A and B are shown apart, each in its own frame.
Chain A
Amino acid sequence: MTRIAIENPVEMYAVRLGDDALVLGHRLSEWSSNAPFLEEDLALSNVALDYIGRARMFYTYAGQLRNDGTTEDDYAYLRDCRDYYNLLIHELPRGDFAFSMARQYLVDVFNLAYLAELQQSRDESLAAIAGKAVKESTYHLRRSNDWIMRLGQGTRESLRRLQDAVVELWGFTPELFAMDALEIDLLAQGIAVDRAALRDSWDRQVRATLEAAGVTMPEPDWQVDGGRQGVHTEHLGHLLGELQFVQRAYPGLEW
């Protein structure tokens, strides 16, 4: 298989955002038939569908920029781990319900602010995708915010699980705000969002909610990153093994 080499920075930016969405959507979809009750099963599938839809829009746009017939599926199914660029927080296994909800909450607060900014992008296609996605994220955050309060103020066990989840996730959050040369350059052109600039208000909001829920905020004494360079946790390879199984076993066919 020939590697999809990405040279256009805007294409790379769209693929990064697509990878974030696809990998998280995949993790959320793993809750189907596994949620604590039926209504929640359906709600998690809704969120998963929004993310998968978002990935499709970003990839499709990336493919259009190449103008060589590259499709959304080529990006999703034909790249190996080192050519995936999602931020690591999205690929962590779904864990228990508290872990998935805590991740969702941290990411939802981030995404809502991020997408609101991306709507202002000078790239009209990215702005349009953000315009659709920001509405979804508003609803996602309402849900995950509710769950943080329910778990935090529910039972001793639910608070303990929420606390453990926040501790496990915390070192993966700095990567949400890390700018690299590519995004700094696109920011200067008015295309990309300044993620670093979102950090303070994210931090205030997340701390206020988690503390109100009864969570003791962890010390920021560790952090892991590397997603944007394709240096992942070991979990991503397994996720891709599953996601890409049919396309790998029967290459080059229509489905």
Chain B
Amino acid sequence: MSDSKAMTEAELIERFQSRIDDEQKIEPKDWMPEGYRKNLIRQISQHAHSEVIGMQPEGNWITRAPTLRRKAILLAKVQDEGGHGLYLYSAAETLGVSREELIAALQSGEAKYASIFNYPTLTWADIGAIGWLVDGAAIVNQVSLQRTSYGPYARGMVRICKEESFHQRQGYEIMLALSRGNEAQRAMAQDSINRFWWPSLMMFGPHDAESAHSGQSMKWKIKRQSNDELRQKFVDQTVKQVEVLDMTLPDPDLKWNEGRGHYDFGEIDWEEFKRSMSGGGPCSRQRVAHHVKAHEEGAWVREALRAYQKKQKSQADKAAA
């Protein structure tokens, strides 16, 4: 914008907000308030890290998947999640932060990722439960984010959502197979639901009233729907799916509320949520340590690649001279 220097900060903010109100997408070269940029970097990078760290609990079963078909589907799914991480890192980079900085923030614990990935995958059923519940919760959130105000993030979400619905289907299909299996398989599936249900609800974040960034994010249309609205939507859609499995959700307070037209459900253990978010989940230390280890073990490869590219470039320059 050539006239941006002539405008005062207040005028710029006003014009920015009116573009947002008008449902225009904000693009990387557009003027934006520093708070908007920071808020977006926080949210997009947290999202990217979740995709990447999420590869670990699911990757934990790639070498043990029970059939070749399941193995191929799981490997492709985990690969997709890595791809989502890549799109999102690229979207974050358009805001002037480098991938190295983002990774450093993940490894130092300064940047967060979805706390659900701090729970262990102990049985094959956990791969079903994660695909179904965790990707299911992610879709509810991401569908809403397709309308987020920042262009690169919104477009990334459109691409990602297409793959997520496939992920959810394959997860549910695993659960369905187990639900039709023998007693041990059914018990395995129910145990997974019991362990992953509450953490799935936590994925939507704190209640709207307690959410530190929510108000401003809604005003800037970074977020389009509140945490509680999205969580409710997820609960409503999931209850029906559990019934098809002929299994139960571990919540005695869960019941249909005719007046609201929604399911009521119990209170999340917010102490556990906080603990898990701040590095106290059962696998928190393991997840970050694994990322650090792979990154450090790969340092010599990245260095070799840089050195090779530099040599190639200087040879090309010499040839051109």
Contacts and interface: CB of A to CB of B under 8 A. Distances in A.
Interface string B283-315: 000000010001101111111110110010000
A120 interface: no
Contacts of A35: 294, 298
Contacts of A255: 66-67, 70, 124, 174, 177-178, 181
Contacts of A127: none
B307 to A, nearest CB: 5
B62 A29 contact: yes
A38 B86 contact: yes
Interface residues of A, number: 48
B72 A53 contact: yes
Contacts of A245: 64
B85 interface: yes
The residue among A29, A30, A40, A48 with the most chain B CB atoms within 10 A of its own CB is A29
Interface string A160-187: 0100000000000000000000000000
Nearest to A41: B82
A42 B163 CA distance: 15
B294 A34 contact: yes
A222 interface: no
Contacts of A155: 300, 303-304, 307
A230 B236 CA distance: 54
B75 interface: yes
Interface string A26-53: 1001101111111111100110110011
Q: How would you classify the secondary structure of chain A's contact residues: helix, strand, loop or mixed?
A: helix
Interface string B70-82: 1110011011001
Interface stretch (B51-59, B107-115, B153-161, B248-256): B51-59
A73 interface: yes
B72 A36 contact: no
Interface string A115-132: 000000000000000000
Contacts of A32: 55, 59, 62, 75, 78-79
20 contacts: A30-B62, A32-B78, A35-B294, A37-B298, A38-B82, A38-B85, A38-B86, A40-B301, A42-B83, A46-B79, A49-B79, A73-B67, A77-B66, A97-B301, A155-B303, A155-B304, A158-B301, A161-B300, A242-B63, A250-B184
Interface of B: 52, 55-56, 59, 62-72, 75-76, 78-79, 82-83, 85-86, 89, 124, 174, 177-178, 180-182, 184-185, 290, 294-295, 297-305, 307-308, 311
Interface of A: 22, 26, 29-30, 32-42, 45-46, 48-49, 52-53, 55-56, 59, 72-73, 76-77, 96-97, 149-151, 153-155, 157-158, 161, 242-243, 245-247, 250, 253-255
